[in-house]
Amino acid sequence: MALLRWIDRMLLIALKVLTTTCFVIVTLLVTANVLVRFFPVASLHWFDEIIELFYACLVFYGAAALWISREHISVGDWIGSKIIKNATGRHLYRMVLELIVLVFTLVFFYYALRLTALARDVTNVFAIPKSVLYSCMPVAGAIMVIYSIRNIAVEIIPLMNRKTKAGTT
C-alpha cells in the first residue's frame, strides 16, 4: 500500500506540474497574441496549433489530477449523508455513483483512444501529427478509469468488512 500511495503522490505531483506549466504557457501565448495585435512587431501564424496543444493538456491532465485527488465536480456525499442515515446504504449509494462515473470514464477513454488512433492529419505550420495533440485525452482517460476503479474499491471494502464481521459474530 505504501508503494501505491507513493505512486499516487508522484503522479499527482507530475500532473500538477504539467498542468501549471501548460497554464503559464497558455497565459503567456494569449498575452503575446493580444500584444501583437496592438503592436504588430511579429507574426504569430503558428499560435493556433501551439495553443491547441497546451490547452488540451491543461484541460485533460488537470481533470485527471482532480480525479486522483477527488476534487472534481460531483454529487458528493451531501445527498447520501442527509438522506441515507445507514452507513451501509451510504456506501452503496456512493458505489452506484462511482459505477456511473466509471461508465462515463470508460466511454470517454474509448472514444479518446479511437480519435487519437484514427487521426492522420498534421498541423499546418509545424506539421505536428494531430494524434500528438489528442494523445493527452486517452492518457487522462486511462488515469480516470484507474482511479474510478479505485474509488469503487474504496466503497466496496467497508461493505465487505461489514459482511465479514457480521458473519463471524
User: For position 163, what pLDDT does the model report?
Assistant: 64
User: For position 91, what pLDDT does the model report?
Assistant: 81
* Torsion angle in degrees (nearest 10) through CA of 79, 82, 88, 91: 30
Residue owning grid cell 438522506: 83
90 versus 76: the higher-pLDDT residue is 90
64 closest CA partner among 14, 114, 107, 103:
14
Instruction: Determine the Cα–Cα distance for residues 81 and 90; give it in Å rounded to an integer.
Output: 7
14 closest CA partner among 69, 78, 65:
65
Alpha helices for 39-135 (secondary structure H): 47-69, 78-83, 87-118, 130-134
The per-residue pLDDT for range 42-85, each reduced to its tens digit, is: 888 888 889 999 999 999 999 999 999 888 776 666 666 677 77
Longest CA–CA span in the chain (Å) reads 80
What angle separates helix 2-38 from helix 47-69, to the nearest 10 degrees?
A: 150
16-21 long-range CB contacts below 8 Å, 24 or more apart?
Answer: 16/65, 18/57, 18/61, 19/57, 19/58, 19/61, 19/62, 19/65
165 versus 44: the higher-pLDDT residue is 44
Average pLDDT over residues 24-52: 91
Q: Quick check: 133 and 53 in contact, CB under 8 A? A: yes
